[in-house]
Amino acid sequence: MDCTSSGPRASRETSRIAQRGQAPRATLGQPGVAELLLGSVMTSTCGALSPVSLTAHVGRPLHKGGCDVDACLKHGDGRQQRWLAELRQAGAIVGSAHIVLDGELPSNSYMPWRNGMLPFATGQDDTFAQCLAVARLCDQYSRREAAFGPAWLTIRYFLDFGPSTGVREALTVSPVRHRQLGPLCQHDLEVREAGARVATLTIVHEQPR
């Protein structure tokens, strides 16, 4: 896949299924590792579930051009799912993430698909796009803070994005805390929309030498 698209190669346990999902709404800027990994997982569920948290490790820079995303469902209990996603470019692992999704799927949200049932889109494109926009902000800040080495990212989502009116306010990012942890730096930030907190970001990276 091209790193500007969102069609994942999703794998579930030992079975690997190639699929092309509906492209999420575009957000400003170039997509980064967290956004591509989250987009792959959310597309695999057709956006029917909302993210609770994303914890990622970015080991090398993501360059323009082709890349592959594998998303594997590791656990699901009917309401909450835990996914492992991995992004590769030119055969090398760029980043990986553990992603937790939440939201009980209604029985009428499924349609037959090959040997199983696939959830179809449930009108949550607005929330889908906003979740990806938050991930993109995290990518942008991590690239800024950890430009010369690996980084560890955690996004915690607060699922109440308010009423879905189709009109979103601009997202703003505010620093909360900066700490030195020996050879590591930690940055804690809040993402807000119209004054309401929608997510928190934590970025940890090695101090530049």
Lowest mean pLDDT among 3-7, 49-53, 83-87, 165-169: 3-7
Q: Which two tokens stand for residue 24?
A: 């999420």
The residue with greater pLDDT, 128 or 1, is 128
> What is the mean predicted confidence (pLDDT) over 8-25?
33
Q: What is the mean pLDDT of the chain?
A: 77
CATH number assigned to the domain covering 9-206: 2.40.160.210
Mean pLDDT to the nearest integer, 9-28: 34
Contact (CB, 8 A) for 173 and 137? yes
pLDDT (0 to 100) of residue 77: 76
- 3-state helix, strand, coil split of the chain in percent (to 5) is 15, 45, 35
85 and 41 in contact (C-beta within 8 Å)?
Answer: yes
30-75 pLDDT, tens per residue? 789 999 999 999 998 887 788 999 999 999 888 888 899 999 999 8
pLDDT tens string 122-177: 445 678 888 999 999 989 988 887 776 789 999 999 866 544 445 678 899 999 99
Question: Residue 206: pLDDT above 70?
Answer: yes
Q: What is the pLDDT of residue 67?
A: 92
Q: What is the structure's pLDDT at 186?
A: 94
> Rounded CA gap, 122 and 145, in Å?
37
Average the pLDDT over 85-105 and give the result: 90
Q: Domain spans of the chain?
A: 9-206
For residue 113, pLDDT over 90 is answered with no
Of 19-33, 70-84, 97-111, give the lowest mean pLDDT range.
19-33
The predicted model scores a pTM of: 0.76
Q: Say which residue, 10 or 85, is predicted with more confidence.
A: 85
pLDDT higher for 99 or 114?
99
Average pLDDT estimate for 96-116: 64
Strands (E), 90-170: 92-102, 110-113, 116-119, 151-157
pLDDT attached to residue 18? 28
